[in-house]
Amino acid sequence: MSRTIAGVTVTAALLAGLTACGGGGTDAAEGRTLTYWTYQDRTPQAGQVLEKIRKDFEKANPGVSVKIVKIPKDDFNTKLGSAVAAKTAPDASVLDQPLVSKYALDGTIKEVPAGLFPDGTYFKGALDTNLGSDGKYYGLPVDQTGVALFYNKKLVPTPPKTWDELKQVADQVHRAHQDVAGMVVPKGDGYGAWMFPGVVAGAGGEMADVPGKKILFDQPPAVEALHLWADLLPSSPRKITDSDKPFENGLAAMQISGPWDVPTIREQFPDLDFSVAPLPYKTAPAGNIGGENSVVYSTTKNADLAWKWLLFLGDEDNNGAVADAAGGFPVNTKATPVGTGPENEAFLAQLKVAHARPAVPQWIQINDEIIAPAIETALSGKATPRQALTDAAAKTRTLLGWNG
């Protein structure tokens, strides 16, 4: 990483700007309007959360108005892209994690000012989703989410903690119940490829070294991770797991999924006694990460105010509610999560050790068009995990123009 954002020194210009729009209600702040784009509310309660925070921010900054524009999530990126092209982008907005490095490379968004916040404010995985390919930060995290291990407590009384335990438990379940799969093994699709880096990190590896321009997912940790999934298939036959909702219907003892599935399972399958645990690992706890970030656009004339608003969304007092409204977990290390219980605890533990996707503008394409097919090639037995990932790495190097 080429730079560190430390809270010890704050540039004079930034300090002056934040003071001007601060709680004192100075003349510089009066009459200023900040436009912020975000997704349409998930629920009425989510809308109430953001409205309260907007009012609190305006109360703390007399003379400042925050105009929040809510756009359906499916339309958001298209409308934002059009606004960027027309140079009518808002002052700030939410932005899906993989788009940060692309917008940073294009010069569409501003680099985070040095000294904007103290070290340790955000979880590292969440903060690192804001890295550009140059190793600098271009946004702040808003919420984070990831996947963990769902397990049927009737079939798996104690969840496995290691890869070896995972394979052992899956095998024991299938041997005892031939019509039940040990686990729903992820497939070679975009979703499976999104989860894969977290498993690779559990073996001590990474998918890429962006500053060094090196692809790493053909190295032993990634090969071992794909071998793990392949090794699970004999105890987790696809003829079982390809059925409708195999975990929910008691046909699979374990699956990897996210917090979005917890309320659905509770509501639709009330008799299923399940819980959630952190992902099993080989060398160290790890996982993947998803969620949203917030960025400031290069065309804004209110950069100081925009950064202050983004800090407000992510501070320890507000971020728990903001993240919950967005459907995720807090990114501020001191924020209190909304809700308790074993499921939340498992996801929170997982996110503390989450690894961000490589800060490569083309990563969505690499994920969907190169890594996903490679995973499926190995899981279908058409190639060994090593050969499948070797071929995928070669294609990625060609796409990026990297030699490493």
Domain CATH code at residue 72:
3.40.190.10
Residue range(s) defining the domain that contains residue 27: 12-144+290-351
**Do the strands 32-39 and 92-96 form a parallel or antiparallel pair, or are they unpaired?**
parallel
Strand, coil or helix: what is 71?
A: strand
Q: Quick one: 166 and 273 in the same domain?
A: yes
> Residue 108's pLDDT is what?
97
> Tell me, what amino acid is at 299?
T
Do 138 and 222 belong to one domain? Answer: no
Residue 196 belongs to some domain of the structure: yes
pLDDT bracket for residue 104 (50, 70, 90) = very high
3-state secondary structure of 56: helix
The sign of the CA dihedral 80, 86, 89, 95 is positive
For the chain, the domain total comes to: 2
- 307 with 232, same domain? no
Residues 187 and 236 in one domain: yes
Q: What is the pLDDT of residue 404?
A: 86
**Residue 1 domain-assigned?**
no
pLDDT of 95: 97
Phi, psi of 327 (to 5 degrees): 90, 15
In a domain, 3, yes or no: no
Residue 220 has pLDDT above 60, yes or no: yes
Q: How many Å apart are CA 130 and CA 356, to the nearest integer?
A: 9
- Considering the domain architecture, whether residues 323 and 215 belong to the same structural domain is answered as no
294 is a domain residue: yes
Bridge partner list, 94: 294
pTM of the model as a whole: 0.89
* Residue 287 to residues 312, 352, 353, Cα–Cα distance (Å): 27, 9, 6
Please check whether residue 357 lies inside any domain of the structure: no
User: Which parts of 141-255 fold into alpha helices (H)?
Assistant: 163-176, 190-201, 220-232, 238-241
Residues 281 and 166 in one domain: yes
Phi, psi values for residue 148, rounded to 5°: -150, -175
DSSP designation for 236: S
Residue 179 lies in a domain: yes
Mean pLDDT over 287-300 rounds to 97
- Mark whether 112 and 182 lie in a shared domain: no
Asked if the structure places residue 259 within a domain, the reply is yes
Residue 11: is its pLDDT beyond 80?
A: no
Three-class DSSP category at 32: strand
Predicted confidence (pLDDT) per residue in 343-381, tens digit: 899 999 999 999 999 999 999 999 999 999 999 999 999
pLDDT at 23 over 80: no
Q: Are residues 265 and 335 in the same domain?
A: no
Distances (CA, A) of 141 to 130, 196, 256: 7, 22, 24
Residues 138 and 209 in one domain: no
Q: Is 69 in the same domain as 218? A: no
Per-residue pLDDT for 191 more than 90? Answer: yes
Lowest mean pLDDT segment, chosen from 24-38, 80-94, 287-301, 316-330: 24-38
Residue 30 confidence class, pLDDT cut points 50, 70, 90? low
* Percentage above 90 pLDDT, the chain: 90
Question: Same domain for 124 and 260?
Answer: no
pLDDT of the residue at 129: 97
Residue 4: pLDDT over 80 = no
Residues 19 and 55 reside in one and the same domain: yes
Integer Rg of the chain from CA: 22
Q: 255 lies in a domain? A: yes
